[in-house]
Amino acid sequence: MEAMIMTRIIMHGCNGHMGRVITDLVSKDDECKIVAGIDPFDDGHNDYPVFASVNDCDVEADVVIDFSNAAAVDELLDWCAEKKMPVVLCTTGLSEVQLAKVEETAEKTAVLRSANMSLGINTLMKLIQDAAKVLATAGFDMEIVEKHHRLKLDAPSGTAITLAEGILENIDRKDKWVKGTLVAPDGSVSGNTVYAPDELPVSSVREGEVPGIHTIRYDSEADSISITHDAKNRKGFALGAVLAAEYTAQHEGFLGMNDLFQF
């Protein structure tokens, strides 16, 4: 019998919401193990060592899963490039300079970057791209509305931007996405309500504890079609991140979820 390969994971942002969900998920998985965590805030509850900085980590591992914040990504990318450590990069809100650095890092080690790790969202991407090809030609207009919890800082979400870019790649009528309205946690509304024909609006709502809802609407004079992904909790994102880590540890270059999920 062929020996099972255990994937050793460093959890970057281990004490954040997603870090905790992933830690719980991996604890029940016989094919991978979190061997270290990185987080500046630690109360000692994890059963693996936690380091305040990735530069302090001296634990042998196969891959990093990153769910942290944009401010921590530069240090992580430098460390992964130096150590030739594969990384699954899930943090959103990165600057153009940081995105360029991600691609540079992928020349030295495997980097799988995705704004959303869930199988559901990646299936949604395929569906809306196929729909856009047909409906745009038939004269349908389109918009994206995303809802997230009140503490999410970036708006639109990285997932919504990725969905918008996926649509734009498959139609000729629109050239760019633009920010639509923003409903703040206090209920106040700001942003744009009028758009040029070549613009794809992406609107945002921040309220309560919503893990994430993304709706793509296609509208014509004859009828309307809406496709929605509603994340009930963070488990779908966690499972996708773990599957991505196992995949990335065995591959090279700049990767995406489309490499993992062959639609």
Can you give the pTM of this predicted structure? Answer: 0.78
pLDDT in tens, 224-238: 999 999 988 889 889
- Confirm if 162 and 92 have CB atoms less than 8 A apart: no
pLDDT of amino acid 262:
72
Task: Name the active-site residue from 12, 147, 152, 214.
Answer: 152
> For the residues of 73-120, what is the DSSP string, one character each?
HHHHHHHHHHHT--EEE------HHHHHHHHHHTTTS-EEE-S---HH
Packed helices 119-137 and 235-248: angle between N→C axes, nearest 10 degrees: 100
Q: Is 152 a residue of the active site?
A: yes
pLDDT of amino acid 4:
58
Residue 33 to residues 24, 25, 88, 116, 228, Cα–Cα distance (Å):
11, 10, 15, 22, 33
How many CA atoms are closer than 13 Å to the CA of 44, on its beta-carbon side? 0
Q: Output the six-digit token pair for 63.
A: 């891959």
pLDDT of amino acid 114:
86
Residue 224 to residues 4, 91, 108, 217, Cα–Cα distance (Å):
50, 33, 46, 7
- Between CA 63 and CA 68, with CA 66 as vertex, the angle to 5 degrees is 155
Q: Which residues pair with 227 in a beta bridge?
A: 216
pLDDT of amino acid 192:
86
What region, left, alpha or beta, does residue 90 occupy, with left being phi > 0 and alpha being psi -120 to 50 degrees?
A: alpha
- For the chain, residues with pLDDT lower than 50 are 1-2
pLDDT of amino acid 92:
84
Give the C-alpha separation, 16 to 175, whole Å: 36
- Confirm if 184 and 149 have CB atoms less than 8 A apart: no
pLDDT of amino acid 100:
96
Residue 104 to residues 98, 110, 162, Cα–Cα distance (Å):
10, 11, 20
Q: Is 229 a residue of the active site?
A: no
- Confirm if 256 and 117 have CB atoms less than 8 A apart: no
Task: Name the active-site residue from 12, 147, 148, 214.
Answer: 148
Give the C-alpha separation, 42 to 230, whole Å: 31
Give the C-alpha separation, 80 to 248, whole Å: 13
Q: Output the six-digit token pair for 39.
A: 């987080």
pLDDT of amino acid 15:
96
Give the C-alpha separation, 125 to 204, whole Å: 18
- Confirm if 180 and 192 have CB atoms less than 8 A apart: yes
